[in-house]
Amino acid sequence: MGLASTLAGKPKTPQKPGPDVLSALLAVGRPLVMGILNVTPDSFSDGGQFLDPAVAIGHAGAMADQGADILDIGAESTRPYGGATPVSAQDERARLERVLPAVVKLGLPVSVDTIKAEIAAWALDQGAAMVNDVWGLQRDPTMAQLIADRGVPVIVMHNRENVDPRLEIIADVMMFFERSLDIAARAGIAREKIVLDPGIGFGKTPEQSIACIARLSQFKRFGLPLLVGASRKRFINAVTPAPPDERIGGSISAHLMAVENGAAIVRVHDVAETVQALRVKAAIDCAKEIAI
């Protein structure tokens, strides 16, 4: 089944939704922190660091203790700057099998970061609560129907195969989201189950990534929660040169600006530092309101 057939026909009636995990999370009334767990050998920031299941599960527990609201686990590197080695569904599942069930038992909502519907289905069967699709329902033609049938939330991320410095990136992201939302509607995904992510670093120049954060509020026109994952991305290096593990300051700065511009969720490697920064920002904002 190709994308054209996925788009064909009238929108389906949304399926009866499952447990309303996303609404419950958003109801806390503050920005949410999604902690990243990569069980991969080649992720751009921490590839190989959490391949050992015991280390990965321990890190997930640490992020939960540090204040993460959601844990996002991926077993295939998407490497936003290219060079990722495709992983078979069998290998991706094998990596997840040793970690995901134990992470689910920690009690936080777990998101599975995958572009394969069969992996998403398996992860949901193990207790994952949502799906993070870095190709925004536009790569695997069966993903949207799976999400609709299960009634779970989905993170729809903008992506591009190639970087084009001449592109007006905000318009490109808008058009991508419109296509993804059309696919979602035709599959029957309830709109309140969708989160939009502009895909910082994916198919973008550093300048375009910065523009997506600076102009994030423009994506609020869709009326959906926004997620920003700027953690340790290369655009930080373009502003102030540093290797990925020394970009914590830039990551926090970017996420604070993203929240200021409307982000409901930030996806981060450094949970404790981000939680602290967001709490201080909230305290200052509160004091400002009292003074007014």
- Name the catalytic one among 267, 279, 281, 288: 267
Task: Identify which of 30, 31, 3 has the alpha carbon closest to the alpha carbon of residue 142.
Answer: 3
- Name the catalytic one among 233, 234, 279, 281: 233
End-to-end CA distance of the chain: 57
Q: Is 166 a catalytic residue?
A: no
Q: Is 267 a catalytic residue?
A: yes
3-state class (DSSP) for residue 86: coil
State how far Cα 273 lies from the chain centre. 19
Q: How many CB atoms lie within 10 A of CB 123?
A: 28
Handedness of CA 274, 275, 281, 284 (dihedral sign): negative
The upper half-sphere exposure of residue 111, i.e. CA atoms within 13 Å in the direction of its Cβ, equals: 27
d(CA 246, CA 148): 40
d(CA 72, CA 70): 6
Q: Render 120-175 in DSSP notation, one character per residue.
A: HHHHHHTT--EEEETTTTSSSTTHHHHHHHHT--EEEE---SS--TTS-HHHHHHH
Q: Give the residue numbers annotated as catalytic, written as ranges.
A: 233, 267
